[in-house]
Homo-oligomer: A and B are copies of this chain.
Amino acid sequence: MIRFGVVGYGYWGPNIVRGLSSLKGAQVAAVSDIDTSALHKVRQHYPSVQCYQDYRDILKDPSIDAVAVVTPVSTHYAIARKALEAGKHIFVEKPFTATTQQAEALIRLAQKKALKIMVDHTFIFTGAVRKIKEIIRKNTLGDIFYYDSTRVNLGLFQSDVNVIWDLAPHDFSIMDHVLHKKPEALVAHGMDHFDRGQENLAFITIYFADKMIGHLNVNWLSPVKIRSTLIGGKKKMLVWNDLASDEKIKIYDRGIKVKSKESINRLKVDYRSGDMWSPRVEHDEALRRELKYFCDCIEKDQVPINDGHAGLRVVKLLNITDQSIKKGGKLIKIQGSG
């Protein structure tokens, strides 16, 4: 039984508490929030959970094994560091930290203390992404040409982050998980329509090895919600519509068949247009699966796939995106990623 303290009971915190409560191997021992009305809700739903306004009270409890940090990103580092120092494993909301330096410091500290870090990249635990990973691993798509994601909606303007830090972590962590290529360069363009100092839409292009290209379209001002990703491969192509209640993933036996280099220039390209296949996608709750995996990693002393390094890679891309926009859309080389 792993005993958890949860720091932060705002938008996402209740999901973490509910998810942990549903696991046999986990128990929520304490929750902290600076907002007493949030704590009031905790007491109503979970009368046996200890409530604190100061998260440091959680860290003092020696019976607590792990701490979930579900607060604004600007506070992740300080809380996570103290939790590690107190000997707690940490589960940190995405994005991991505000800077790569912070992420690196936490990784070092966890390593020194032999503690686990898991970054909450929930999407990679969904049935859809697990199926996509399986399809790519089996080389069903062949060499991948591009990953093109549209992630737009009429979004809540957040005070502390821009649309990139809100929406792009999903795609950055998914690409990191399913594609087997390192990002080599990134360029981004965005707009801050309301002079807030925070972009509300952005277009991000990522260059990977071997001519693979990624593109993200993130936008807080779209009248319709779109969560659509095209992945084009040499052998087959995949469309993932995450909002579809059914048939989220479709694999098309379509593409071009290059006879020879010469032939392309001369228009002697064959087009294939075959069947479409939509594999069944599991519907179990991703967050619950992720939390269970975290408990397993702790108990079996295994390194999670979404560990501090995975969190660092995402933070690095977020930082480079911000830099590229600040420099007027400059292409930025990515050093030693991975």
Interface residues in chain A, defined as those with a beta carbon under 8 Å from any beta carbon in chain B? 47, 145-146, 148, 150, 152, 154, 156-159, 187, 189, 191, 193-197, 201, 203, 205, 211, 213, 215, 217, 219, 221-225, 230, 232, 237-239, 243, 245-247, 250, 252-256, 258, 261, 264-267, 269, 271, 273-280, 328-329, 331
Contact = CB atoms under 8 A, between A and B. Distances in A.
Nearest to A195: B261
Contact of A145 (B154, B191, B196, B271): B191
A213 B201 contact: yes
A253 to B, nearest CB: 8
Contacts of A145: 191, 193, 201, 221
A265 to B, nearest CB: 6
24 contacts: A145-B193, A146-B221, A150-B150, A154-B254, A154-B255, A154-B273, A157-B256, A159-B265, A187-B189, A191-B213, A193-B211, A205-B329, A215-B217, A219-B230, A221-B255, A222-B232, A223-B230, A223-B250, A224-B239, A225-B245, A225-B246, A275-B278, A276-B280, A328-B331
Q: Which 8 A-B pairs have the closest CB atoms?
A: A223-B237, A223-B252, A276-B278, A189-B205, A223-B254, A221-B232, A159-B267, A191-B213
Interface centre among A152, A159, A189, A225 (most CB of B within 10 A): A189
A264 B275 CA distance: 35
Contacts of A203: 203, 205, 215
A331 B189 CA distance: 10
A205 B201 CA distance: 12
A230 B222 contact: yes
A146 B275 contact: no
Nearest to A277: B277
Contacts of A201: 145-146, 213
A246 B273 CA distance: 11
A223 B148 CA distance: 12
A188 to B, nearest CB: 10
